[in-house]
Chain A
Amino acid sequence: MFDASKVRQDFPLLTRGDTVFLDSAASSQKPEAVLRAMDDVYRRGYANVHRGVYAWSEAATAAYDAARAEVADFLGAPSPEEIVFTRNATESLNLLAYSYGRTFLKAGDEIILSELEHHANFVPWLVLARERGVVLRFWPVGVDGTLSLAALDALITPRTRLITFAQVSNVLGTITDPRPVVARARAVGARVIVDGAQSAPHMPVNVADLGVDFFVCSGHKMLGPTGIGVLYGRRELLEAMPPFLTGGDMISRVSFEGATWNEVPLKFEAGTPAFVEAIGLGAAVRYLSALGMANVRAHEIEITDYALERLSEVPGLRILGPDTADRHGGAIAFTLPRVHPHDLASLLDQRGIAVRAGHHCAQPLHERLGITASTRASFYVYSMPQDVDALIEGIESARKTLRA
């Protein structure tokens, strides 16, 4: 069975025991296996990938390709060629807005995106809308913090070309099942992008079963290093899309007259890729698969359930988003009367408790909720009930200090 206290032993920074880390939704800690996989590349045979005809380069290329296959497998992508490595989820979404959006969307076409989106899935579409006259329609968040299909149905029109939303909200923790969205999109010939930055790390994801057209996530939120992100796209769509960035590696042939593009996914990977980071991400998904993503999610439900219960005992504390763990990802944002999130986070920091305070890159959502900021505690595979207990004690102590 899943044992978080044993899992924690794999994370060098956490075994130090000086910090109660409750900010995994922003970025996760890294297990020894990931650190070692990356270190090994540099220590045992490092050279640039592709085109090298010597051992170090060929080994690095093979490891890079293997990482892509592992990520494809982890996400349920039918083939590794449908996995494009980017820097992060933000870059993946920008790639889509530039390459897909500017090629296939025209003035008057409609994009539906939810009100709870992270700025990464907001701003690229705002820019596209301003530039191309594409119309944005916002899928409203209900009073219970969820995105309802009834609300979506009211927005879909024959002009809907794209629906994009987070499978798990980084603020509300809201989980939205992509399947019924995909069915509705198909009915009007629209594409579906799922922002999986907060879902891929925490629950089993199979992009083929979900039937989505595109799926994005960030390596650093799923035990991997920074600087590596993922874009899954159905092959026929990736093939129809023009390159995003251009230069080396992404070409097939270049002459003084012009250039032709490499095959997917390399067409989208201009320049030396972050291949050591990709290899680190490969190790991360291997580690997660060994834990079992169903177990990872079961543990998350358990700790989220406990946290929701303990937090709801704090007088006046308002939990944003769904109030039951089965409908809630591992991030819980809340507000406390008369205590500003930054003051609370500073006081918690003095006790060695790391939470996030602010708008969590979701200002439109906070505007909708009528607040400017919230405090967020988020959990992962190494989170334990005593972390929640420390948080509750810290909140009680802060309320006393601030006389709230």
Chain B
Amino acid sequence: MSDLYRENLLDHYENPRHRGSLAGATISHEETNPLCGDRIRIDIALSDDGETIADIAFSGDGCIISQASASMLMEDVIGKAVADALATDRQHVLDLVGAPLTPSRMKCALLGLKVMKTGLANWRLARGESSGLA
């Protein structure tokens, strides 16, 4: 068994959680990793008060690390406060992935996080609030 591609990671890749799009999304944001062309789009539906992630979904294509980590992130942040989601740090996502990653592969693992945070931050900025990013 490979250290890198453990069962849990492969499972998230083959059976992604919260994959798709949200019809009533408050936020929709997409980015690519120019190195390898990984692409992730995240739709977020916020609660009426705008404080909680009521629903979230991702779509895109790319390597196992980028897609599986996005799936793990969805499970992790759904139902969380926006402020907490914005405070998610890199290490937390790397821990979710749980595999030894080289620096170039960390970019793959962190793409979903970057898309989610940028989407949330842009939405807050557009409403005249501070981005909430650390």
Q: Which residues of A pack against B, CB within 8 Å? A: 340-343, 346-347, 349-350, 357-359, 366, 372-373, 401-403
Q: Which residue from A343, A346, A349, A358 sits with its C-beta under 8 Å from B35?
A: A358
| Neighbouring A residues of B1 by C-beta, 8 Å | 401
Report how many A-B pairs have Cβ atoms within 8 Å: 50
User: Nearest Cβ distance between residue A367 and chain B, in whole angstroms?
Assistant: 10
In the complex, whether B5 has a CB less than 8 A from a CB of chain A is yes
| Neighbouring B residues of A342 by C-beta, 8 Å | 36, 38, 62-63, 65, 105, 108
Q: How far is the CA of A366 from the CA of B34 in the complex (A)?
A: 13
Q: Which residue from B5, B10, B39, B108 sits with its C-beta under 8 Å from A347?
A: B5
**Contact yes or no, B10 A402, CB < 8 A:** yes
**Contact yes or no, B64 A343, CB < 8 A:** yes
**Contact yes or no, A346 B4, CB < 8 A:** yes
Supposing A340-B64, A342-B108 touch, asked if A347 and B36 sit within 8 A by C-beta, the answer is no
Q: How far is the CA of A183 from the CA of B9 in the complex (A)?
A: 56
| Neighbouring A residues of B91 by C-beta, 8 Å | none
**Contact yes or no, B4 A350, CB < 8 A:** yes
**Contact yes or no, A340 B62, CB < 8 A:** yes
User: Nearest Cβ distance between residue A336 and chain B, in whole angstroms?
Assistant: 12
**Contact yes or no, B36 A358, CB < 8 A:** yes
Q: How far is the CA of A366 from the CA of B108 in the complex (A)?
A: 19
| Neighbouring A residues of B50 by C-beta, 8 Å | none
| Neighbouring B residues of A401 by C-beta, 8 Å | 1-2, 5
Q: How far is the CA of A359 from the CA of B37 in the complex (A)?
A: 8
Interface of chain B: mostly helix, strand, loop or mixed: loop
Q: Give 9 pairs: A residue, B residue, CB < 8 Å, sorted on A.
A: A341-B63, A342-B105, A343-B65, A349-B102, A372-B36, A372-B37, A402-B5, A402-B10, A402-B64
Besides A342-B38, A343-B5, 5 other CB < 8 A contacts?
A346-B105, A347-B5, A358-B35, A372-B39, A403-B10
Q: How far is the CA of A401 from the CA of B6 in the complex (A)?
A: 9
Q: Which residues of B pack against A, CB within 8 Å? A: 1-5, 10, 14, 35-39, 61-65, 102, 105, 108
User: Nearest Cβ distance between residue A376 and chain B, in whole angstroms?
Assistant: 13
Q: How far is the CA of A215 from the CA of B48 in the complex (A)?
A: 64
**Contact yes or no, B2 A340, CB < 8 A:** no
**Contact yes or no, A347 B4, CB < 8 A:** yes
| Neighbouring B residues of A357 by C-beta, 8 Å | 36
User: Nearest Cβ distance between residue B90 and chain A, in whole angstroms?
Assistant: 19
**Contact yes or no, B36 A341, CB < 8 A:** yes
Q: How far is the CA of A288 from the CA of B63 in the complex (A)?
A: 39
**Contact yes or no, A373 B102, CB < 8 A:** no
Q: How far is the CA of A357 from the CA of B37 in the complex (A)?
A: 11
Q: How far is the CA of A346 from the CA of B14 in the complex (A)?
A: 18
| Neighbouring A residues of B108 by C-beta, 8 Å | 342
User: Nearest Cβ distance between residue B9 and chain A, in whole angstroms?
Assistant: 10
Chain A residue with minimal CB distance to B14?
A403
| Neighbouring A residues of B105 by C-beta, 8 Å | 342, 346
Q: How far is the CA of A358 from the CA of B62 in the complex (A)?
A: 11
| Neighbouring A residues of B3 by C-beta, 8 Å | 350
| Neighbouring B residues of A358 by C-beta, 8 Å | 35-37
Chain A residue with minimal CB distance to B6?
A401
User: Nearest Cβ distance between residue A371 and chain B, in whole angstroms?
Assistant: 8
| Neighbouring A residues of B65 by C-beta, 8 Å | 342-343, 346
